[in-house]
Amino acid sequence: MNRIVQRFADLRARGSKGLVIYIGAGDPDLEATRQLAIAFDRAGVDVLELGVPFSDPLADGIVNQLAAQRGLESGTTPPKVLATVGAIRRESQIPLVLYIYHNLLHRVGVAEFIRQAAAAGVDGLLVLDLPPEESDDYEALMAEAGLCPIYLIAPTTPDERISLIAPRARGFIYYVSREGVTGMQSKVSSSIGEKTAKIRAHSPLPIAVGFGISDAAQAREVAQHAEAIVVGSAVVTRIAALGHSPDLVPQVSAFVRGLVEAVRG
Amino acid (one-letter) located at 250: P
What is the DSSP secondary structure assignment for residue 168, as one 8-state letter?
G
CA nearest neighbour of 193 among 166, 221, 152: 221
The whole-chain average pLDDT of the chain stands at 93
* CB within 8 Å of 195: residues ≥ 6 apart: 153, 155, 175
- Beta-carbon count within 10 A of 198 CB: 15
d(CA 31, CA 87): 9
Please give the average per-residue pLDDT across 50-70, as a whole number: 92
* CB within 8 Å of 218: residues ≥ 6 apart: 185, 187, 188, 212
What is the pLDDT, as a whole number, of residue 162? 96
CA nearest neighbour of 225 among 197, 200, 193: 193
CA nearest neighbour of 233 among 185, 190, 188: 185
CB burial class (10 A; 0-12, 13-18, 19+) of residue 208?
Answer: buried
Please give the average per-residue pLDDT across 230-256, as a whole number: 96
What is the pLDDT, as a whole number, of residue 180? 45
Q: Looking at the annotation, which residues are catalytic?
A: 49, 60
Please give the average per-residue pLDDT across 175-185, as a whole number: 59
Q: Model pTM? A: 0.94
Q: Write down the domain spans for the chain.
A: 3-264
The CATH number of the domain covering residues in 3-264: 3.20.20.70
CA nearest neighbour of 57 among 245, 233, 253, 264: 233
Torsion angle of the four alpha carbons 97, 102, 108, 111, in this order, in degrees rounded to the nearest 10? 70
pLDDT in tens, 84-107: 999 999 999 999 999 999 999 999
Checking if the pLDDT of 116 tops 70, the result is yes
